C-alpha cells in the first residue's frame, strides 16, 4: 500500500470556520466546482473539475503536497506527490463554504 511521506508538512490542524471560495478564482472573477485547502499553508483552491484547477496549480507553485477537501461530508486528504488519498484524524473542524458558482450560475 502506498503511504504518504509528507505528513510533516501539515501545519493546518484546525479548519477555518468559513471561507469565501477559491481565493484565486475570487481574485480573477473565476468560478469553481469544489474547494480544497492546502494543509501546509491554508491556501484555498479549486478542484481539478474546475476550469482553473487552482489547488493543483498551488501545489506546482509551492511544493505543498497535501490538500484536504472542504466539501461538506468529505474528510479525505490527498497527496499530490505520492498520489494517495487518506483520512487524517488530527484535522478538526468543519468549514462553511458557499455553493459552487458553477452549480448556481
Q: Which residues bind Zn ion (CB under 5 A)?
A: 4, 6, 22, 24-25, 32, 38, 40-41, 43, 46, 52, 54, 62, 64-65, 79, 81-82
State the minimum distance, in angstroms, from the CB of residue 31 to Zn ion: 8
DSSP structure string for 5-73:
S-GGG----B--SB--S-HHHHHHT---SSEEEETTT--EEE-TTSSS-HHHHHHHHH---EEEE-STT
Q: Report, in Å, the least distance between residue 63 CB and Zn ion.
A: 9
Closest CB to Zn ion among 60 and 96? Answer: 60
Amino acid at each position: 500500500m502506498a503511504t504518504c511521506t509528507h505528513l510533516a508538512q501539515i501545519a493546518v490542524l484546525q479548519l477555518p470556520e468559513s471561507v469565501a471560495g477559491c481565493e484565486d478564482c475570487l481574485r480573477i472573477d473565476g468560478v469553481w466546482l469544489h474547494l480544497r485547502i492546502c494543509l501546509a499553508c491554508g491556501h484555498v483552491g479549486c478542484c481539478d473539475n474546475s476550469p482553473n484547477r487552482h489547488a493543483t496549480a498551488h501545489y506546482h507553485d509551492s511544493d505543498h503536497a497535501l490538500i484536504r477537501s472542504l466539501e461538506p461530508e468529505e474528510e479525505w486528504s490527498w497527496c499530490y506527490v505520492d498520489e494517495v488519498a487518506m483520512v487524517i484524524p488530527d484535522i478538526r473542524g468543519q468549514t462553511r463554504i458557499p455553493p459552487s458558482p458553477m452549480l448556481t450560475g
